[in-house]
Structure 1
Amino acid sequence: MPELPEVETVRRHLAELIEGDVILDVAVRLSRIVRHPSPSLFVERLKDRSICRVERRGKYLLFELDGVLLVSHLRMEGRYTVADPAEPELPHTHVVFRLASGRELRYADVRQFGTMDAVLEGEPLPKGLAELGPEPFDPALCGAVLRHRWRGRRAPLKSLLLDQRQIAGLGNIYVDEALFAAGLHPLTPAGAVGAETLDVLLREIRAVLARAIREGGSSVRSFRDGYGRHGGFQIQLAVYGREGKPCPRCGGAIQKIKVAGRGTHVCPACQPISVAAPKGTGVNA
């Protein structure tokens, strides 16, 4: 699933390509992509609307139109392209926006898990978007805030970092990378980590995300940006996807474990658990 750096990369490219254009019409070919309202009303709400800005919140793309907010979540493999109508479409193109510039904004999704909502001013935001926690780069987010929020929590650090209600936009790749950079084991109980250490973790989260954004995200599987280009950060990954390979810091073997049902990559030497791990993890203190 695209995470914050990939979605931000798509956002920046789409902003360059379509901001200021006008949606003349929309063809919805797979109705379940549209969650709200009905597909026919979705089309009516978007027709003849100017694309004022393309923004991002967590892993959501937000197309700010005049009077309507188009909320799009790429899920596993959703992908936007901007093309001339004469250009061949990607396979599994499910939604096509015809633009006043003569181009088309196309949405393709092999897995068909992506979603779109067209929200009028005054309507409630989609539940997932409305429940998002602060952005990782929010200057108000600090170790003391997380320490207060997580005090007494036995849930593993990684579990809470993946919870979009805690911090928006983080996913498997960048949580693994940030925890490694901070020297924290993913199974460390969140409530046992002090504010100063959480400040270090936030610093590393921000640094990893910033580097990934500069490189256009990570094309670990099928991600491509708004221009169809692969990301470049995957060649800089320290632990994610490197099971059995040497740790770039100590040379020991990277291990893969399960945390919150997700494959998790860790260097046991560089990321020791300083307090007891939650029961049932198979990892000792």
Structure 2
Amino acid sequence: MPELPEVETTRRGIAPHVERREIVEVIVRQRSLRVPVPGDLESSLIGQRLGELARRAKYLLLPLGERKLLWHLGMSGSLRIARVGDQPKKHDHVDVVFEGGNILRYHDPRRFGFVDWLAGDVASDVRLSRLGPEPLSPDFDGQRLYRLSRGRRAAVKTFIMDNAVVVGVGNIYATEALFMAGIDPRRAAGRVSLERFERLAVAIKTVLASAIAQGGTTLRDFVSGTGEPGYFAQRLNVYGRGGEPCRHCGLELRQTVLGQRASVFCAICQT
């Protein structure tokens, strides 16, 4: 599943090719996505000039005049730049064609993603209104984690993956950040000290910033908006390495399941 760094990488990759350009054609090949493609998408987009792309959590926001499109990549979706004349492949469901010949092409084998109109604004749309702060923003820090965690019995890994606490800390990045901070992912969130949460907040920011800088994590078929693969997977310390030696102490990494997600950790380096 594309996580926050992959979505941010996509935004950065496609933005130079489509921002401030007029839409001249819209082709919808499959309307039955997780949310049905709006019936007025084609008629409403043609003639509009796309503004500056934004991201909120794992959603992309495309401003078009008085309205905004909300685009979610789901489990297997991708937005890539194609050119007029490039033949669509299987599972290429939506094309937005711009003046000059660039195409914003949506590919989604599982069809768990969607494109829909934003309902009102970011603060009022039910899909966005309850989200926590962006992890790389000043609104997110260890103090917030400590305050929200008091009395919580859930594992700290499950806690930081809650989008109401902070957005975009998916399984890969939660696993890596907890290792960097030296915290056992199984520890109850309410039993983590302020000092440790401050260390964890810094680790989350560091891991996500590094992933974005390297173009996201290569999992299955993720590529950026320009078709380049991600490279962060080459630097993973624990995720997907259960049974292998810890890069720091050499102990065999252990694997468990937390919140129905595989969790790998080092019993020595993480306490």
- Return the TM-score normalized by structure 2: 0.94
Partner of 1:17 in structure 2? 17
Instruction: Describe the superposition over 1:117-158 as per-residue Cα deviations: whole angstroms up to 9, x where unpaired.
Output: 113656975423222100101213222222111111101111
Cα deviation per residue 1:139-189 (whole Å; 9 max; x = unaligned)?
132222221111111011111111111101110100000000001111111
The residue aligned with 2:104 is 105
Residue-by-residue CA offset, 1:76-97 (whole Å, 9 max, x unaligned): 1111121112112232101111
Offset of residue 193 of structure 1:
1.1
1:60 aligns with 2:59: yes
Look up the match of 2:126: 127
The letter of the residue matching 2:30 is L
- How many correspondences in the alignment? 271
- Counting only pairs closer than 5 Å after superposition, residues 86-165 of structure 1 correspond to structure 2 as 86-119=85-118, 125-165=124-164
For the residue of structure 2 that corresponds to 1:51, the secondary structure is coil
Residues 263-272 or 228-237, more deviating: 263-272
Task: Return the TM-score normalized by structure 1.
Answer: 0.90
- 2:72 maps to 73
How far is 1:232 from its partner?
A: 0.7
* 3-state SS of 2:207 partner: helix
User: Map of 1:238-253 to 2, 5 A cutoff?
Assistant: 238-253=237-252
Letter in 2 for 1:226: G
RMSD: 1.8
Map 1:223-238 to 2 at 5 A: 223-238=222-237
Closer, same or farther: CA 105–271 of 1 in aligned 2, 3 Å: same
SS of the residue corresponding to residue 187 of structure 1 reads coil
Is contact 1:157-1:188 (8 Å) kept? yes
State the 4+ residue runs in structure 1 displaced beyond 6 angstroms: none
Q: 1:246 & 1:201 partners in 2: Cα distance?
A: 23
Task: Tell me the amino acid that sits aligned with residue 233 of structure 2.
Answer: Q
Q: Is the 8 A contact 1:45 1:118 kept in 2?
A: no
Q: Which residue of 2 aligns with 1:26?
A: 26
Gaps of 5+ in 2: none
Aligned counterpart, 1:173:
172
1:40-85 Cα shifts (integer Å, max 9, x gaps): 2233332222111111111111112221111111111111121112
Distance change in 2, residues 1:252/1:207 (3 Å):
same
2:57, 2:6 → 1: CA distance? 11
Residue 110 of structure 1, CA deviation: 0.9
Question: Partner residue of 2:3?
Answer: 3
Aligned residues of 1:172 and 1:262 also touching (Cα < 8 A): yes
Q: How much has 1:220 moved relative to structure 2?
A: 2.0
Where do 5+ consecutive residues of structure 1 fail to align?
273-285
Q: Cα offset for 1:108?
A: 0.6
Secondary structure of the equivalent of 1:72? Answer: strand
